[in-house]
């Protein structure tokens, strides 16, 4: 079970990384840091259920502690081949404990999603993962995802986004920080996490994400959820 996130309540002399410290509090961190995270997960599962057939493969890239895959397995009635890939061993260790606890059949793989072979899939999920990939590598990754998808397959992409207007962007960030305060994060924690994520999490504008998805071959892209500076897209092959 995830502990309460107090990671940035003290001085940390390094950039943000998905180590054991983060993995141990990750479920609480994302639940309190991403607005409407649970509602968005519900939407993603409902949407996926409309596209998959029995024994289809769903691939979660950057699967972290496997919460979304476990939710898919629990809520979609017919059998599916669920695969999670992550480059963080601590994240995978926490995921494996949850999978054992729920007697799950989810398959986990350790590897770099920029390099590991991607099996053919009906659905690929990038849930707040692309934003941690260097911008220079994003088009190549999305191209690999596109080619791994079967015809009629979908990509679900959730990302932090920025506004194209600097004045509006600042106001939206202020609203987001108000949200974090409402979830119990102190001013110090907000500042320290922002510093740790600088140059690690690099968000794009909503239109930049859509343009990038279309550039690798997706026939149609639509934003299906947005709250201030968080958005979820569906891309159809």
Q: How far is CA 215 from CA 46, 112, 200, 225, in A?
A: 27, 23, 24, 21
Q: Give DSSP secondary structure letters for 100-115.
A: HHTT---EEEES-TTT
Please check whether residue 199 lies inside any domain of the structure.
Answer: yes
Task: Using CB atoms within 10 Å of the CB of residue 225, give its burial: 0 to 12 exposed, 13 to 18 middle, 19+ buried.
Answer: middle
- Whether the pLDDT of residue 16 is over 70: the answer is no
Count: domains in the chain: 1
In this model, does residue 33 exceed pLDDT 70? yes
N-terminal to C-terminal alpha carbon distance within the chain: 37
The verdict on residue 31 lying in a domain is yes
Structural domain contains residue 43: yes
How far apart, in whole angstroms, are the C-alpha atoms of residue 51 and residue 53?
A: 7
56 domain-assigned: yes
Q: Domain range holding 165?
A: 13-236
Q: Which residue has the higher pLDDT, 178 or 11?
A: 178
Pick from 18-32, 40-54, 76-90, 114-128: least confident? 18-32
Contact by Cβ (8 Å): 199, 19: no
CA–CA dist 8, 190 (Å, integer): 8
pLDDT over threshold 60, residue 202: yes
Task: Look up the CATH number of the domain holding residue 95.
Answer: 3.40.50.150
- The model's pTM: 0.90
Q: Does residue 7 fall inside a structural domain?
A: no
Residue 70, in any domain of the structure: yes
Rounded Cα–Cα distance for residues 120 and 190 (Å): 40
Given a cut of 80, whether residue 19 has pLDDT beyond it is no
Query: Among 70-79, 189-198, 220-229, whose mean pLDDT is lowest?
Result: 189-198
State how far the Cα of 144 lies from the Cα of 139, in Å rounded to an integer.
Answer: 9
In a domain, 20, yes or no: yes
Q: Is 10 a residue whose pLDDT tops 80?
A: no
pLDDT at res. 15:
60
The answer to whether 91 and 65 have CB atoms below 8 angstroms apart is yes
Helix runs in the chain, H state only: 20-33, 37-49, 67-75, 89-101, 135-148, 166-182, 187-197, 206-215
**Distance of alpha carbon 72 from alpha carbon 122, whole angstroms:** 14
The answer to the question of residue 217 being in a domain is: yes
For residue 156, the model assigns a pLDDT of 98
State the residue for tokens 């059949």: 105
Reported as a single tens digit per residue, the pLDDT across 128-186 is 999 999 999 999 999 999 999 999 999 999 999 999 999 999 999 999 999 999 998 88
HSE-up (13 A, CA, CB side) for residue 117: 2
The average confidence (pLDDT) of the chain is 90
d(CA 185, CA 177): 9
């Amino acid at each position: 079970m995830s502990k309460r996130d107090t990671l940035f309540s003290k001085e940390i002399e390094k950039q943000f990384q998905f180590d054991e410290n983060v993995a141990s509090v990750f479920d609480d961190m994302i639940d309190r840091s991403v607005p409407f995270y649970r509602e968005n997960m519900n939407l993603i599962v409902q949407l996926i259920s409309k596209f998959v057939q029995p024994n289809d493969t769903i691939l979660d890239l950057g699967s972290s502690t496997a919460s979304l895959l476990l939710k898919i397995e629990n809520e979609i009635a017919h059998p599916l081949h669920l695969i999670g890939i992550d480059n963080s061993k601590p994240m995978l260790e926490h995921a494996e404990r949850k999978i054992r606890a729920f007697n799950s059949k989810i398959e986990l793989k350790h590897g770099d999603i920029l390099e590991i072979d991607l099996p053919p899939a009906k659905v690929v999920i990038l849930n707040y993962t692309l934003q941690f990939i260097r911008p220079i590598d994003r088009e190549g990754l999305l191209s690999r995802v596109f080619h791994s998808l079967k015809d009629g397959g979908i990509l679900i992409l959730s990302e932090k986004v920025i506004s194209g207007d600097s004045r509006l962007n600042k106001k939206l960030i202020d609203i987001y920080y108000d949200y974090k305060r409402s979830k119990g994060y102190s001013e110090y924690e907000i500042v320290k996490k922002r510093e740790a994520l600088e140059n690690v999490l690099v968000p794009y504008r909503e239109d930049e994400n859509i343009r990038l998805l279309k550039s690798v071959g997706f026939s149609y892209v639509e934003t299906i959820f947005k709250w201030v500076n968080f958005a979820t897209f569906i891309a159809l092959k």
